Amino acid sequence: MDRALSIGRLAERSGTNPPTIRYYEQIGLLKRPDRREGGHRTYGQTDLTRLTFIRRCREFGFPIEQVRSLVDLLENEDRSCTDARDLARDNLTLVQAKLEALRALETNLIQMVNDCEAVCVGGPGPNCVILEDLSEPSRSKCQGC
């Protein structure tokens, strides 16, 4: 019903901040909106849809340049959705790599905290097992040696 949205309302409804919207406009991800007499931006339903799409993409971890491709895909009848699948698949691979690293990190941190509580908690800083652990060179690169 409400067609003309201020930047603040658009921000609210799309889950963004006004400065972020201006930033997206600046980098050409959102097109320049109409202005009121005083210079304030006004937006319509189409802008809300597009911005929501952009935010979703960002939540899904797509970097801005990929979001640009996806927006293009969404608005261009001539492009095949295979591109969208490929982008999603690349993104999935990245997410899975990050997951693996984070899981290893979690295991290590849990171990550190537990060891500290069992062995040295309350003792002098330099003797703490956590600091000892952190002083060892990384084992992540050569598991075998």
Partner DNA sequence: GCTTGAACCTCAAGTGACTTGAAGTCCTAC
Partner DNA sequence: GTAGGACTTCAAGTCACTTGAGGTTCAAGC
Residue ranges that bind DNA, judged by CB under 7 A: 6-9, 11, 17-20, 22-23, 36-41, 58, 63-65
Which of DNA, its own copies, none is residue 97 near (CB under 5 to 8 Å by kind)?
Answer: none
Contact indicator for 51, 16 with CB cutoff of 8 Å: yes
Which residues lie across from 41 on neighbouring strands?
35
DSSP element (H, E) containing 41 = strand 41-42
* 95 belongs to the binding site for its own copies (CB under 8 A): yes
* 23 belongs to the binding site for its own copies (CB under 8 A): no
* 17 belongs to the binding site for its own copies (CB under 8 A): no
Helix axes of 45-59 and 18-26: crossing angle, nearest 10 degrees: 90
Size of the site for its own copies (CB under 8 A): 61
Contact indicator for 33, 24 with CB cutoff of 8 Å: no
Round the CA-based radius of gyration of the chain to a whole number and report it.
24
* Tokens of residue 61, six digits: 């971890």
With the C-alpha atoms ordered 93, 95, 96, 97, is the resulting torsion angle positive or negative?
positive
Query: Nearest distance from residue 125's CB to DNA, in Å?
Result: 22
* 85 belongs to the binding site for its own copies (CB under 8 A): yes
Instruction: Report the site for its own copies in 123-142 (rule: CB under 8 A).
Output: 123-128, 130-131, 134-138, 140-141
Q: Which residues bind its own copies (CB under 8 A)?
A: 15, 49, 52-53, 55-57, 59-61, 70, 73-85, 88-89, 91-92, 95-96, 98-99, 102-103, 105-106, 108-110, 112-113, 116-117, 120-128, 130-131, 134-138, 140-141
